[in-house]
Structures are given as C-alpha cells and as structure tokens.
Amino acid sequence: MTIAKDDIPHVGPGTAGGAWLRRYWLPVGLESELFDIPKALKVLDEELVLFRDSQGNVGLVGQYCAHRGASLEYGDVEERGLRCPYHGWLFDVNGNCLEQPSEKRGKEFCAKVRHTSYPVRELGGLFFAYMGPNPATPPPLPNYSPLVDHGGIRQIEPTRHFNYNWFNFYENSADPVHVWILHGSSAYGEQSWGNRFFSTDDPPNFEPVDMPYGMKIVMSKNTGDSVIVDEMSLGFPSILQVGDTEFVHGKADPKKLMNNGSDIEHFMFITPNDDHHFMMFTVDYYTGPDPNFFTHLTEMRKREEPKEVLKFYDTRPLMPFRGNVRREDIVTQGTQKLLGERREHLGTSDRGVIMLRKMVLESIKAVAEGGDPKGLNLKEDSNGLVKLDSFVGIRN
C-alpha cells in the first residue's frame, strides 16, 4: 500500500489518514456543553449523536436510527438510553436495542439489532471517544496534565469550530516562522518579551525535535551569557501545547520569565469533523501565584482586536484580521487548500513541517501495516501526569 502526503488530510472511514486517527482517544465534546438533549456532531466524517442518559452514562452513537433512519438528534433522553421519536426504539450508550414498542414478537429481534456506538470517557471536563478497531480493548486514555487536578486552576474555553482541514492548523505549529511574520504586529509584537524574542530583524533559531509523544519545535535565542528557549509541542495525533501564553497574551513580567519560567500549560485538542471542518477544545492549567489569572488573560485577549479600518470597497470575507492572532491564523491556514491539492515550494524554513509530515506518514504506514502508531502509550511522570514539553525560560 502506497501512502503519500495526499493521504494525511483525509479522515473518513476507509481512508489511511482516518485509520491512523482512529487509533487514539479523541475529544468529542465538553461536559459543560452537554445537557439533557442529544447533540448531533460529525467525527471523522461519521454522523453521530452525543448524549448523556439520565443515569449519567455518556454515549456516542450513530445519528440515524437503526430502524428506518430517523435522526436521533430529536430523540428523547431517558434513564436507560436514547429513544427514537419515530417508533420509539430505545438504544443504550453501547448501541444495544432495549425496546421496540411496535414489535410484539418478543425480544429476539431487538437483541439482533446493533446500533453504531463508540466508547466514551470523561477526563477533566472533556469527553473522549475511541473509534478504533478494538472498542473492547482500547489503548489507555492518557492522563493529559491540564485535565488532571494537580494544585492549580483550569480553564476550558467553549468549543471552537473551524471550516477548513484540520491538518492545516496542526502543521502550522511546526512552522514557527509565521509567528514573527504573520503575528509580528499583533500580540506577539506588542509586549517587551515577545517583541524581543520574536523580532523579525533578529528571529530566534528553531529546530524540530523527535519526541516519544510526537515532536516539538525548540526556538532559542542566544543573548551572550544565556540562551532563552521557547518550546511548542505537537502530541500525536492532533494535540498542540504552547507554554508562552502567560507572557504573550497574559503580559506577565519578563523578569519572572527569566527567573521562574512559565506557570501555564495551554493544550489545544483538534478533532476533525470531516475533511473540511474541525473542532477545537482548548484547556489551560495554571499553577502560578495569581488567583485571577484567567480573568486577566480574558481581559488581555479582548484587547487583541484587529485595528485596521475596513476600506469601503473591501469585501474580502475575512477582513479585518491583522491584530488578532487567532484571526490571523484562520486567514492563512483557512485559505490553504488541502495538503496534496495545493502547489508548494518548501524551503529550509519549512524543516519543521517537513519533519512533521514525514513522522505522520510513518505512523499512517505503521497502522496500514497492522502496527501501532507513535504516541499511543505515553509514559506518565512521577505524579501520574502525561505532559507535553512547553519550557519557556533560560537554559544555560
């Protein structure tokens, strides 16, 4: 089987990229956003509904009823499961059919029906689903550090939705050059630490490094007597972690950075809906001294609004964007076509992206050949946490 870069962005059943993604637990929703009604959503190009029965069990099941295909998005949540509004078939979170009120022949027919369902687990306010080949024996759900209480405060942002291919976002994190060019006049450029570290005239050096969980980009700048380092990690298959949020968006005192490093973990979990949409679950965990850190962070982020005045003839749909890091990312990643469907000329500054694609292809190939992909059984630290590197500070 030949695997090529064109395979990476495709996520549906039967695709090589989709088979790779299906080997990991992927977040599919937030505890705080699931109420007493089902929620329709697409995950890896499969139409599903997420629901919590009134005993608290959470299920991710096929959207269309196993009987004659009415949407279970309009079903009723009950104690034992989800009931289709059309003829009242009742399904539990494991896809078992429990009741068929219109069938009088006894239980045999009901027992024969297996509705699509995937195992779901909750961790730190996120629901993770496993859509892989062995649902009875999934790999362990990693104890991702910001999702496990360890003496700090957690913030989970509302789910964000994007309408372009997930890999455009993911591989952007292996490309630090865009930080000082695209974001050069927004948050990164506005405060003393970011201004110096990400200066366009004197940008940091960077190197991609192969890690057991995936890879990281180590950016560094030699100031003469010390080396300042800022790391960004890519956990397989689709997690990003940055550590400089406190200094870039929280505007923490650069002196503190020099002395203590960063007190924040900032994880972004990407889950593809299909080849042209993905959702993002953003979790921050702060272990520093400011009890109102997240209130301050929110206030700071609000100020990061585009400052351009829109010209009256400018009807470009994503204008204005300069001045807000997140919008700058959408304008650039969101206008790239799918990997494999665009023309490219990669240079030396694309070395992070080149290495990431190579590693992803190796993992896709491993799965296609019946093996395990990278980052499936991550080691916990002595506190039982799975961490992705995000060191920010001085390294002598």
Long-range contacts of the stretch 305-310 (C-beta < 8 A, 24+): none
116 counts as binding ligand FES under rule CB under 6 A:
no
Considering only the stretches 32-40, 79-87, 273-281, 306-314, report the one whose residues sit in contact with ligand FES under the rule CB under 6 A: 79-87
Residue type, 106: G
The residue among 98 and 319 lying less far from ligand FES, judged by its C-beta, is: 98
Residues 361-390 that bind ligand FES (CB under 6 A): none
Given the complex with Fe ion, which of 54 and 200 has the nearer CB atom?
Answer: 200
Which one of Fe ion, ligand FES, none interacts with residue 329, CB within 5 to 8 A by kind? Answer: Fe ion
Query: Shortest gap between Cβ of 198 and Fe ion (angstroms)?
Result: 11
Instruction: Note whether 294 binds ligand FES by CB under 6 A.
Output: no
Q: Is 300 in the site for ligand FES (CB under 6 A)?
A: no
Return the range that interacts with ligand FES (CB under 6 A); candidates 3-11, 20-28, 87-95, 350-358.
87-95
Rounded distance, CA 64 to CA 92, Å?
14
Tell me the two tokens of residue 287.
């272990």
Indicate the residue among 114 and 316 with the shorter CB distance to ligand FES: 114
The answer to whether residue 329 forms part of the interface with Fe ion (CB under 5 A) is yes
89 binds ligand FES (CB under 6 A): yes
117 or 273: CB nearest ligand FES = 117
Residues in contact with ligand FES, total (CB under 6 A)? 10
Place of tokens 């973990």: 265
- Compare residues 41 and 297 and give the one whose CB is closer to Fe ion: 297
Least distance CB 60 / ligand FES (angstroms): 18
Closer to Fe ion by Cβ: residue 284 or 329: 329
| In the complex, least distance from residue 76 CB atom to ligand FES, rounded to whole angstroms | 12
65 interface partner picked from Fe ion, ligand FES, none, CB below 5 to 8 A per type: ligand FES
Q: Applying CB under 5 A, which part among 195-203, 267-275, 325-333, 362-370 lies near Fe ion?
A: 325-333
Query: Which residue type is seen at 307?
Result: K
| By the rule CB under 6 A, 70 interacts with ligand FES | yes
Q: Determine if 244 is a binding residue for Fe ion (CB under 5 A).
A: no
Nearer to ligand FES, 109 or 311 (CB): 109
In the complex, the residues that contact ligand FES under the rule CB under 6 A are 65, 67-70, 84, 86-89
Residue ranges that bind Fe ion, judged by CB under 5 A: 329
